[in-house]
Chains A and B, each alone.
Chain A
Amino acid sequence: MSKITKEDVIYVASLAQLELDEAAQERLVHEMGDVINYMDKLNALDTDQVEPMMHALRMTNVLREDVVGESLSREAALKNAPKHDDEYFIVPKILENDNA
C-alpha cells in the first residue's frame, strides 16, 4: 500500500513549483511511496531523548571583521540573466491589468 496518493503528489508539486503531466504524477505516486515507506523504518527507533544533529560540525558564531571588500560588479551579476537591462533583472508582469 502506497502512503502517497495522487492528491499528495499534486499538492507537493504545487509547493515545489513543478508542473507534472499525468504520467509523471502516476509514476511519482509509486516512486515516492516506495521511498517514504522505506523511510518509515526510522519509526522503529525511540528518539525522544535524542538531540537532533542540526549541523555537521559544532561551530558557533563564526564572525569576521566588517570591512569593505570587493564584490561582484553589476555587469558580472547580470550577465547570466535570461533578460536584463543595464540595471535590473527583467521578468514578466507580476500584476495583471485586471483591476487587481
Chain B
Amino acid sequence: MTAWYEKTAHEIRDALRQGETTAVEITQNFLDRIDAVDKQVGAYLQIWNESALEQAVQIDARLANGEDVGPLAGVPMSLKDLFCTLRGNTTCASRMLANFESPYNATAVQRLEDAGAIFLGKVNLDEFAMGSSTENSAFQKTRNPWNLNCVPGGSSGGSAASVAADCCTFSLSSDTGGSIRQPASLCGCVGLKPTYGRVSRKGQVAFASSLDQIGPMCKDVEDAALVLNVICGKDPLDATTADLPVPNFSKALTGDVKGLRIGLPKEYFTESLNPEMRALIEQAIDVLKGQGAEFMEVSLPHTDYAVAVYYIICTAEASANLARFDGVRYGFRHPDAKNIQELYVKSKSEGFGPEVQRRIMLGTYVLSSGYYDAYYLKAQKVRSLIKQDFDRAFEQCDVILTPTSPTQAFQFGAKTDPLEMYLSDIYTISTNLAALPGISLPCGLTKDKLPAGLQLIGKPFDEAAILRTAHCYEQNRGFDMGKAPIA
C-alpha cells in the first residue's frame, strides 16, 4: 500500500485526478499516520477524524461526477490553531479560548475548503503565536520530529512538526516575526511568509496587526506556490489586503535563475553566525551560482536595531489587540469576580499565560503616557529606516539570501531568558518590519542531524522571484533531505 502521507500536495492532486486512488483512502492513510506517531510528536491539539472523512467522501463523489473539484481537492492538511474555523474550537493554545467556537471561517480557511483541501485538525503553537519554541502553549509540548529532545521552533511549531512528521501534506500558518520561517528551518520544511497584504488576515486571531501575515508550511516549493495561489488576493473583509493582480505562482517555477542578482547582506554574515550554518549556506550559494545566479554584497545598516524595534511594535500592538479578551463576550471568565472591574482583571490574569502577560506589560509600558514618543514613535521611525535599507538594497539586487535562524533546533528549556529567546528571531523579523515576502527552505543537515534553513527575501509582492529561486535551488541542490527519523 502506498504511503500517501509521504507525498506532496501536488503528487496527491495528480494521483487523484488520474484515478489512482480515492480521497477517502488518502485521508484514512493520514489519520492512521497521525494515530501512529503524533503521540510522540504532540503536534495536534484537535484531530478531526470524522469531518475529514466526510470531506473526503464528498470529494470522491464530485470527482466521480466529473466536477471541477479545485486545485487542492483531496489534499489532507493541518491548520495552526490561530485561525477561526466553524469546525472544532479555536483556542490559540490559550486557556483564555479553550472552549471558543468561532461563528465563522477565516477567509484563508474558507478558500482552502473551497479549493477542496481536507482539514485533518488543528495544531499547536505558542500561546497567541508569542514565542519561538512552542513551549508557551498552555496545552502541550510539541517535539521536533528530527530529535524529540528538541523544540520544533515557534510559534508555528505544531505546523512544522506535523509537516516534518508526515502527519499532513502542508499546514496553514502565520508569521509575525518569523513564526513560519524559523520553525520551517528547525524542522526541515519549506515555509513561506507572503508580502503583508497578500493574504487576508480576516479570521486570523490578531497578535500584531501591522506585522501578521498568513502563509503555508510545506514539503516542497511547488506546494508553497500551489497553496499561495489558493489563499491570496483581495478580500473585502480585510481592508489591508492589496488590490493587485495575483499571478499564477506555479508558473513562476521555471528553473531559470540565469542573471538573477542575489544580494548577501554583510550584516547577516558576521562572526555571530554559527560556522556550521555558514558552511551550509555557502554550499547553497554555490549551487545557485552554478545555475547562473549572480551574487553581490549588499548592506542593511540598521539590521542591529531590528529586534528592539520589533519587540516595541509587536508588544504595543499585542497589548491593544488582546484587550478584547475581557471575559464578557467570549473567552474565559473568572468565576469569582464580584464586580465588572474584577471580572476584567481576574479573567485576564487567569486566562493568559506568563509570556502573553509579559508582552502585554511591555506593550502597555511602551505606549504609556511619557514613554510613547521615546519607545513607540521612535520604533516606528527606525522601522522606516529598516524599510529604506531594503529599498536601497533592492536597487542593486532582485532577491536577498540569508540564513533563517542563527542556530539549529535547541533543547527544551535551553532558553529561559525572554531576551535570549527574542534574539533567536534576528534573521527573520526585518522582513516583517519591512512588509516583504520571505521563504525558508532546507539547505542540509548539521552534524547533529538537525535541519538548517536558508532564507530568501523578495521585493514587495514579488513572491514569484523568491519561489523561482527557491525552486531552482531545491531542484539542483544535489542531495535529499531525507525524512525525520521517527517511526
- Chain A residues at the B interface, C-beta cutoff of 8 Å: 4, 8-9, 12-13, 15-20, 24, 28, 31-32, 34-36, 38-39, 41-43, 45, 47, 50-57, 59, 62, 64, 72, 76-77, 79-83, 89, 91-94, 96
A34, B384: Cβ atoms closer than 8 Å: no
A42 contacts across to B, CB distance below 8 A? 305, 308-309, 312, 378-379, 382
A32 touching B210 in the complex, CB below 8 Å, given contacts A39-B312, A47-B382, A53-B387: no
B385, A47: Cβ atoms closer than 8 Å: yes
B101 contacts across to A, CB distance below 8 A? 79-80
B78 contacts across to A, CB distance below 8 A? none
A96 touching B368 in the complex, CB below 8 Å, given contacts A56-B196, A56-B435: no
Near A by CB (< 8 A), chain B positions 345-400 give 345-346, 348-349, 352, 354, 357-358, 360-362, 364-366, 368, 375, 377-385, 387
A19, B345: Cβ atoms closer than 8 Å: yes
A20 contacts across to B, CB distance below 8 A? 349, 357
Q: Does B24 contact A (CB under 8 A)?
A: no
A94, B340: Cβ atoms closer than 8 Å: yes
A17: contacting residue among B211, B242, B345, B358, CB under 8 A: B345
B330, A81: Cβ atoms closer than 8 Å: yes
A93 contacts across to B, CB distance below 8 A? 339-340
Near A by CB (< 8 A), chain B positions 300-357 give 302, 304-305, 307-309, 311-312, 319, 323, 326-333, 337-340, 342-346, 348-349, 352, 354, 357
B305, A82: Cβ atoms closer than 8 Å: no
B384, A17: Cβ atoms closer than 8 Å: no
A52, B240: Cβ atoms closer than 8 Å: no
Q: Which of the listed residues A34, A35, A36 has the most CB atoms from chain B within 10 Å of its own CB? A: A35
**Given contact pairs A17-B326, A17-B348, a sample of 12 additional A-B residue pairs in the complex whose CB atoms are under 8 Å apart:** A9-B361, A12-B368, A15-B368, A32-B362, A39-B366, A50-B384, A51-B384, A52-B384, A62-B239, A80-B103, A81-B330, A92-B342
B304 contacts across to A, CB distance below 8 A? 41
A45–B326 Cα distance when bound, in Å, is: 38
Residue of B nearest to A78 (CB): B329
Residue of B nearest to A93 (CB): B339
Q: How big is the B interface, by class?
A: 35 or more
Q: How far is the CB of A70 from chain B (nearest CB, A)?
A: 10
Residue of B nearest to A72 (CB): B103
A12–B319 Cα distance when bound, in Å, is: 11
B348 contacts across to A, CB distance below 8 A? 16-18
- Chain B residues at the A interface, C-beta cutoff of 8 Å: 99-101, 103-104, 196-197, 210-211, 236, 239-240, 242, 302, 304-305, 307-309, 311-312, 319, 323, 326-333, 337-340, 342-346, 348-349, 352, 354, 357-358, 360-362, 364-366, 368, 375, 377-385, 387, 417-419, 422, 435
A41: contacting residue among B103, B305, B337, B345, CB under 8 A: B305
B418, A80: Cβ atoms closer than 8 Å: no
A94: contacting residue among B332, B339, B378, CB under 8 A: B339
B311 contacts across to A, CB distance below 8 A? 35, 38-39
B343, A92: Cβ atoms closer than 8 Å: yes
A82, B338: Cβ atoms closer than 8 Å: no
Name the prevailing secondary structure of the B interface residues. Answer: helix
A89, B329: Cβ atoms closer than 8 Å: yes
B382 contacts across to A, CB distance below 8 A? 42, 45, 47, 50
A67–B332 Cα distance when bound, in Å, is: 35
B419, A80: Cβ atoms closer than 8 Å: no
B308, A12: Cβ atoms closer than 8 Å: no
Nearest 6 CB-CB pairs, A to B? A52-B380, A82-B333, A80-B330, A76-B103, A47-B381, A56-B435
Q: Which of the listed residues B210, B364, B368 has the most CB atoms from chain A within 10 Å of its own CB? A: B364
B384: contacting residue among A8, A53, A92, CB under 8 A: A53
A72, B104: Cβ atoms closer than 8 Å: yes
B103, A55: Cβ atoms closer than 8 Å: no
A34, B418: Cβ atoms closer than 8 Å: yes
Pairs A–B under 8 Å by Cβ, sample size 21: A15-B364, A15-B368, A16-B364, A17-B344, A18-B345, A18-B360, A24-B354, A31-B419, A32-B365, A34-B418, A35-B362, A41-B308, A42-B308, A43-B378, A47-B382, A56-B211, A89-B328, A91-B328, A92-B340, A94-B340, A96-B339
Q: Which of the listed residues A16, A91, A93 has the most CB atoms from chain B within 10 Å of its own CB? A: A16
Residue of A nearest to B327 (CB): A82
A36–B342 Cα distance when bound, in Å, is: 29
B384, A83: Cβ atoms closer than 8 Å: no
Q: Which of the listed residues A80, A89, A94 has the most CB atoms from chain B within 10 Å of its own CB? A: A80
A33–B376 Cα distance when bound, in Å, is: 16
B308: contacting residue among A19, A32, A38, A89, CB under 8 A: A38
A17 contacts across to B, CB distance below 8 A? 323, 326, 344-345, 348
A93–B339 Cα distance when bound, in Å, is: 6
B309 contacts across to A, CB distance below 8 A? 42
B338, A51: Cβ atoms closer than 8 Å: no
A45 touching B385 in the complex, CB below 8 Å, given contacts A19-B349, A57-B242, A92-B338: yes
Q: How far is the CB of B279 from chain A (nearest CB, A)?
A: 30
A51 contacts across to B, CB distance below 8 A? 381, 384
B312 contacts across to A, CB distance below 8 A? 39, 42
A8 touching B379 in the complex, CB below 8 Å, given contacts A39-B311, A53-B387: no
